[in-house]
Chains A and B, each alone.
Chain A
Amino acid sequence: MNSTAGSSKILVVEDDAPIASTLVRGLRAAGFDVELSVRGDHAQELPLRNRFDLVVLDWNLPGLSGDALLSHWRHRVACPVIVLTARVTLEDRLRAFELGAADYVSKPFFLEELVARINARLGRRTEGVEAKKLTFANVVVDCDARQTLVDGADVHLTQHEQNVLTVLVERADRALTRSQIATAALTDGEVDERTVDSHVARLRRKLGPAAAKHLQTVWGIGYRFATAPDAKPSDKS
């Protein structure tokens, strides 16, 4: 399981003992610092007194319900709240968003899915200007300067190669169709999906084997720039 956890601190509010214990173990195994609360009324003040990067909140809780907690935290707590819900109606889902939930995960769920969503939320908060300059393997891609360095040396990519790499890097970990890449990276006269294959092949050659692993072919779609290429393919979407 891949995570951007670092020392991210997560509050889990869940009353069901087996779920709570598995969640805590799983999230800790994924590298998060986890605090558990099994009652709504006990959890009410926790995010106000302590710093949490994210809250995982069950909807049905003893003491104080999930929606009451969300109402209480609204405008007081800055960290995102992911709601775990066994409820299936649209109204419940809408209510969670109205009360400020950042996301929801329907029960039953894979821990893997929850971790992916937590990572997405935490990662999203740190995205910024730095994303324009990306380092992977022995490669530095400077999107603004339109320059790519391998082991510190400029590899002199052609304009189209640089465009293709920039398009992929700017949408890291997203699969892009050849058509999408061609439309975004190539000039009108060269919008040809097969041309994209040629550019990616040349990019892989120029960047070297270590960096080439990041430029993944995605079956049925096209290509993806993978920030963690050693993870199994299905770890990325």
Chain B
Amino acid sequence: MIRALQTLRRRFGFATAALVLLVGLALIFVALYSVARLRASRVSDFVRAVAKNPAVLDCSANPARFGQQMSDGSSLYAYDRRTGVSANRRAPPIDPTQLAEVQRGLDYSIKTNVLLGYGTVVIAVDRPSPCDVFQLQWRATSELRARTTLTFALILAVAIAIAVAGGALWVVRPLLDRLAHASRLASRVGRADAVMDTLSTGSRSVHEDELTEVESALRDAHTRILEDRAEIESKNRALAEHLADVAHDLKTPLSSLQLELEELSARLQDADLSAVAARALSDVVYIDSLVANLRVASELEEGDADRRAAQKIELGALIERCVSRVHPLARRRSIELACARPDEPVHVLGDVLHIERALMNLLQNAVTHHDAEGGDGHVAAVLERDETQWELRIVDDGPGVPPTVLPTVAERRKRSRSGDGEGLGLAIVAAVCEREQIELEFSREEPRGLRVTMRGALDAPPPSLS
């Protein structure tokens, strides 16, 4: 047997007893009710009959002929109170018990059999013998019997239903409480701030049953998940720190390489060699961008950035800084890169490192994927604001993106730097925008090119970081 049910044995016992008691009471009630109804009905009929029937009044005139046998099986006859004998030979014998009662002085006596549907009323009247006692015997009509049976059945059914429902609720209530508690525990499993409490049972003892085991298993699972999470977080932190260390360690040689290639490409007289140096320089920029993107991707995926409080950023200064970083690259590719910003500061709340990375990715993509040959390419970043919102548009007149690719252009996919797309860079832009609640839209710029639009909410204008 299920142990959780065993814990409810006492309750089951109580409930069964209560059920029997309630049903019994219901039966008694029904019986009494029916008897009362039959009595009331027949006594009333009899009294009316005695009072109004001329035959009753005629009894004294001709007692031997007095008596009625009615079509529904009922009969009415007169008797002598003292002897209990009727002058009419067809009269059935009077019920001796009831006769004795009226002889003792009762006005009338009623006997009813509800289940079989018949009864007898003996009534004493103030008339001369042998017409001083009347006996009415009746049989309930089929309609009355049916109604009585139906009433009986209905009351019984309702009583049983109430008793069963109440009893069941009372019996399973502790089980339901514990199930609800187990459900609450299940919903808290794995949450760092969860309190895996024990259900308060008051003075009742806590049984070792299946539900206790479920709750215990949930607590164990919670503990294991927290431990696993802590371990994973620790590993991720170590990985992120490792990534940061790698990024840091790479940046010094990359700086040296970039500066030297920059100098070399400026000094080389040979156009082919200069182009080689320029390509190598682009590769250095790409590697740096890749490392930075990997780091931000790691932060976004592991939620590190969530632990960093949002900072107040002056977006105008930030976009200018990003544009100035990408300028040298643009100049080498003969692309005009410019930005415009409002005179007023554009303060926003967000993660400055992530937003900066997103802007850098958009600008670097616009520049590095531009197909300008011979110096006729353009990239423009325009930052505007109104009272509550800011909007940044980065437009270029490069090859753009086919309309079919536009809706998924920021999805992360496997792409090499020599491919036609943006790979990790735009995926990071999309992830950052989603996290920072920045609306991001890619559209075609006519007659050619790509337009990236970012929109977000302004913050109040305090001192800025950028």
Contact = CB atoms under 8 A, between A and B. Distances in A.
Contacts of A113: 324-325, 327-328
Given A19-B252, A220-B395, A25 B324 contact: no
Q: Which of A18, A22, A171 has the most CB of B within 10 A?
A: A22
Interface string A104-133: 001111111100110000000000000000
B348 to A, nearest CB: 15
B330 interface: yes
Contacts of B465: 93-94, 97
Nearest to B295: A88
B288 to A, nearest CB: 5
A22 B308 CA distance: 36
Interface stretch (A3-11, A42-50, A229-237): A229-237
A90 B353 contact: yes
A94 B309 CA distance: 13
B50 interface: no
A26 B342 CA distance: 33
Interface in B232-249: 244, 247-248
B8 interface: no
B338 A224 contact: yes
Contacts of B324: 113, 116-117, 237
Q: Which of A26, A232, A233, A234 has the most CB of B within 10 A?
A: A234
Interface string B329-348: 11100011111111100000
Interface residues of A, number: 46
A116 B254 contact: no
Contact of B384 (A90, A109, A110, A177): A177
B252 A107 contact: yes
B323 A237 contact: yes
A151 B274 CA distance: 43
A171 B341 CA distance: 11
A106 B285 CA distance: 12
Given A109-B325, A112-B327, A26 B340 contact: no
Q: Which of B244, B251, B335, B384 has the most CB of A within 10 A?
A: B251
Interface stretch (B23-31, B57-65, B145-153, B257-265): B257-265
A148 B18 CA distance: 107
A224 to B, nearest CB: 7
Contacts of B251: 86, 88, 106-108
Given A18-B260, A86-B251, A89-B244, A110 B328 contact: yes
B233 to A, nearest CB: 18
B256 A222 contact: no
B244 A88 contact: yes
B91 to A, nearest CB: 116
B81 interface: no
A88 B248 contact: yes
A65 interface: no
Given A19-B259, A109-B258, A177 B382 contact: yes
Contact of A233 (B260, B338, B339, B395): B338
A112 B397 contact: no
A18 B292 CA distance: 23
B340 A112 contact: no
Contacts of A106: 251, 325
B320 interface: yes
Given A94-B465, A177-B340, A86 B328 contact: no
Interface in B126-160: none
Nearest to B287: A108
Interface in A54-103: 84, 86-90, 93-94, 97
Contacts, number: 140
A110 B338 contact: no
B327 A220 contact: no
Interface string B8-39: 00000000000000000000000000000000
B284 interface: yes
B53 interface: no
B409 interface: no
A19 B255 contact: yes
Contact of A108 (B257, B311, B352): B257
B308 A90 contact: yes
A210 interface: no
B244 A180 contact: no
Given A86-B248, A108-B251, A220 B338 contact: yes
Contact of B339 (A89, A108, A175): A175
Contacts of A110: 258-259, 262, 325, 327-329
Contact of B255 (A109, A112, A176): A109
A221 B258 contact: no
B222 interface: no
A236 B324 CA distance: 9
A218 interface: yes
B458 to A, nearest CB: 17
A81 to B, nearest CB: 17
Given A112-B327, A113-B324, A180 B342 contact: yes
Nearest to A120: B324
Q: Which of A23, A25, A112 has the most CB of B within 10 A?
A: A112
A175 B382 CA distance: 9
A235 B331 contact: yes
Interface string A138-180: 0000000000000000000000000000000001001111011
29 contacts: A18-B260, A19-B259, A22-B256, A22-B259, A23-B259, A26-B263, A86-B252, A88-B244, A89-B244, A93-B465, A106-B325, A107-B251, A110-B258, A110-B262, A110-B325, A110-B327, A110-B328, A112-B327, A112-B331, A179-B384, A180-B340, A220-B380, A220-B397, A222-B340, A234-B327, A234-B330, A234-B331, A234-B335, A237-B339
Q: Which 7 A-B pairs have the closest CB atoms?
A: A220-B380, A110-B328, A86-B251, A219-B378, A234-B331, A108-B255, A22-B259
Given A112-B328, A218-B336, 15 more contacts: A19-B256, A26-B262, A26-B263, A86-B251, A88-B248, A88-B292, A110-B258, A111-B263, A113-B324, A179-B384, A180-B340, A219-B336, A219-B397, A221-B340, A235-B331
Interface of A: 16, 18-19, 22-23, 25-26, 84, 86-90, 93-94, 97, 106-113, 116-117, 171, 174-177, 179-180, 184, 218-222, 224, 232-237
